[in-house]
Structure 1
Amino acid sequence: MRTERNLTRLDRVFARLDREPERPAHLDVPKMSRHRIALFAATFAFYLAIVWAVLVTSWLVRLDWQVMFFRPYQQWPEIHAFVDYYVVLGQRGPTAVMVAAWLGWRSWRQHTLRPLIALGVSLLLLNVTVGAAKIGMGRLGPHYATTIGSNEMWLGGDIFPSGHTANAVVTWGILAYLASTPRARRWLSALSAVVSLGVGMSTVYLGTHWLSDVLLGWAAGLLILLALPWFEPLITRAESWIFGLRDRWYARRARTEPVKEPVSTPVVLTPPPASDREGTPAREPVSASRSRTPVHLAPGPHTARSERTPVTPAGSRRPPHADRHSRNAAPAARHLSGG
């Protein structure tokens, strides 16, 4: 009876690391549904409300000053080292490298460039929108404030909205946007919301941002994620253009590479002998005749050594000599002399 081995959790993880044979068909591309449009409109209204509350120096500005005078970094100094490291999760450089590495692996595994292109589009929108708002409103930070109780707007600053918070929302939220299943999308959405809010509160703890900066940065990042489905046709066209460019480059490279011809053994031509040049029919080389006609060194049936007829050589092999006689002949009589 054949039994199959039960896969462990580690086996399933390594199975997920293998590349799929082709692009999976179950990848869900988010669309701009009514629910998403309603969330986008509500977030945009919240964004405008925060800006208006700061412009008119409302209760939100007074709350900003109260938190600044509270100085959280002096109230809880024991967590200062942890917050210094945690706030890195909102810096654009390190987070973009980490997320790009993960999405690059996903692109290779699923034979698609959509994850990387979506990340690039979201970061481009983040730089344009948040950067323009920072420069346009020019609000000074808590460490550079000049007048107590003022909104510190249009004084040459660049902290409103919070770039750390908006970058954390977009960078970690893009993982939820590109999730393959609804369950993974829900978990990653909650995780990105907690991380981004934690990054924003870390900047308030360190005194580098007002509380209203964090709220506006969170809304700015969420607006970019909610608006991404409008850019899906652009992402699809960019992916098709890149793949087409790659195929054309491969075809051009295949045409320009030289074709390797098989190496042949050089044939040396020798002039025929004089007899052949005078009209005598030419002989075939010995090697050619031997290669075409099989040669049998011992034709006929093979017999054992005992069955073979002995062959006696005719005559002696020794050279003739005057003093030598044959073994069978009688010796000649010797002449006796003397008395």
Structure 2
Amino acid sequence: MRTDRIFARLEQEPARPLTPPPGMSGTRKALFFATLGLYAAIVAAVLTTSQLVRLDWRVMLFRPYKQWPELHAFLDYFVVLGQRGPTAVLVAAWLGWRSWRQRTLRPLLTLGTSLLLLNLTVGAAKLGTGREGPHYANRVGANEMFLTGDIFPSGHTANAVVTWGILAYLATTPRARRRLSVVAAVFALGVGATTVYIGTHWVSDVLLGWTSGLLILLALPWFEPLVARVEARLLGYWYRFRAGSAPLSVRLRPAGAGAEAAGLPGSPRPVASREPAVASRPAERPGRPADPRHHGPHTGRHPVRPDRAPVAPGGARRSYGERTVSRTAPIGPRK
């Protein structure tokens, strides 16, 4: 059936080999430390109430959601692309299918590692700064730091960078990596700008959210050895579970039995039995009378012919003169 053909195709492993995980090259290290410097500069600019904070207030007092109200309905749905729950479930479903097809846990483990780093770093920054959002601002021109808020950096923006950027990071071909990088950039920029439009974040929150997500993506190659060890450990547990849940006859099968049955090279050959082989009886043809000499009761041994000369103890047969006369020979002299 068509469905059987489809599922058989899905269960096949990809024909092209999987690309190895990207290493921490010199260029990647330079980008990481440059992004880390930008992160520190944004935090310092907000702490010192610089021109960046003044820009925050100008955009907030401009109220973009009132300038372009026709976009509000669409952007309310578009900003969901930055929420951690829906996006994580969607991306995990796709990466789970890839893990099943490619017989590897690396996509799911890499996603889990990136989300764990996102929660730790962004969550710690939010709780440490305690910045209030635009809707809860207390004094015009203030940076609103170390209060009761938790919006610095923007979690929606950082989550959009990491969740959609992980697809480009795990792409198996350069062409797919370029296309997914463009898609991830569009979603990340769009989600960040949408939070500013709605008024839930300052501009500086979004800038720091973009920087936080990019730092996590750039640092992922440092965690690839850990991902490989965890994958090997989990697969080992899985194989042991499969072996433990197998039937008793399969678990007690001696080593090499599978190779011997499959005829693999190097497998021990089966020892020939010393019992005499029993000849198979010829099949009866229709219309032909059965021969009583071959179709008697099957006892596991060939019947001894009465006209066969017995064997002497030494192994030689008796001479011709000592043989007995066959019962089927005609009686009387030859003519």
Q: TM-score, normalised by structure 1?
A: 0.70
What amino acid sits opposite 1:219 in the alignment? T
Which residue is equivalent to 1:201? 193
Residues in 2 aligned to 1:24 and 1:180: alpha-carbon distance in whole angstroms? 9
Cα distance, 1:16–1:257 mapped onto 2, change above 3 Å: closer
Deviation at residue 251 of structure 1 after TM alignment:
1.3
Unaligned ranges ≥5, structure 1? 1-13, 260-289, 294-339
Deviation at residue 190 of structure 1 after TM alignment:
1.8
Which residue is equivalent to 1:37? 29
* Equivalent residue for 1:292, pick from 297, 318, 332: 297
* Equivalent residue for 2:149, pick from 150, 157, 160: 157
Alignment partner of 1:292: what SS?
coil
Cα distance, 1:107–1:129 mapped onto 2, change above 3 Å: same
Which residue is equivalent to 1:306? none
Deviation at residue 176 of structure 1 after TM alignment:
0.2
What amino acid sits opposite 1:193 in the alignment? A
Cα offsets for 1:129-159 (capped at 9, x unmatched): 0000000000000000001100000002100
Cα offsets for 1:201-249 (capped at 9, x unmatched): 1000000000000000000000000000000001101111111001111
Residues in 2 aligned to 1:199 and 1:150: alpha-carbon distance in whole angstroms? 25
What amino acid sits opposite 1:175 in the alignment? L
Say whether residues 1:219 and 2:211 are aligned partners.
yes
Is residue 22–residue 111 contact of structure 1 (8 Å, CA) maintained in 2?
A: no
Which residue is equivalent to 1:178? 170
Which residue is equivalent to 2:318? none
Residues in 1 aligned to 2:189 and 2:249: alpha-carbon distance in whole angstroms? 56
Deviation at residue 254 of structure 1 after TM alignment:
2.0
Residues in 2 aligned to 1:251 and 1:216: alpha-carbon distance in whole angstroms? 49
Deviation at residue 194 of structure 1 after TM alignment:
1.4
Q: Which has the larger radius of gyration?
A: 1
Q: CA RMSD in A?
A: 2.2
Which residue is equivalent to 1:210? 202
What amino acid sits opposite 1:65 in the alignment? W
Is residue 40–residue 227 contact of structure 1 (8 Å, CA) maintained in 2?
A: yes
What amino acid sits opposite 2:242 in the alignment? Y
Unaligned ranges ≥5, structure 2? 1-5, 252-294, 299-335
Cα distance, 1:15–1:191 mapped onto 2, change above 3 Å: farther
Residues in 2 aligned to 1:24 and 1:255: alpha-carbon distance in whole angstroms? 35
Cα distance, 1:24–1:150 mapped onto 2, change above 3 Å: same
Residues in 2 aligned to 1:23 and 1:139: alpha-carbon distance in whole angstroms? 51
Deviation at residue 15 of structure 1 after TM alignment:
11
Which residue is equivalent to 1:81? 73
* Equivalent residue for 2:41, pick from 30, 49, 52: 49
Q: How does 1:262-301 map to 2 (within 5 A)?
A: 292=297
Residues in 1 aligned to 2:10 and 2:246: alpha-carbon distance in whole angstroms? 29
What is the aligned residue count?
Answer: 250
Is residue 23–residue 111 contact of structure 1 (8 Å, CA) maintained in 2?
A: no
Cα distance, 1:113–1:24 mapped onto 2, change above 3 Å: farther
What amino acid sits opposite 1:94 in the alignment? P
Alignment partner of 2:42: what SS?
helix
The percentage of counterpart residues that share the same residue type is 66
* Equivalent residue for 2:237, pick from 236, 245, 251: 245
Which residue is equivalent to 2:225? 233
Deviation at residue 19 of structure 1 after TM alignment:
3.2
Cα distance, 1:81–1:185 mapped onto 2, change above 3 Å: same
Residues in 2 aligned to 1:34 and 1:180: alpha-carbon distance in whole angstroms? 21
Cα distance, 1:183–1:75 mapped onto 2, change above 3 Å: same
Residues in 1 aligned to 2:8 and 2:94: alpha-carbon distance in whole angstroms? 13
Residues in 2 aligned to 1:155 and 1:181: alpha-carbon distance in whole angstroms? 47
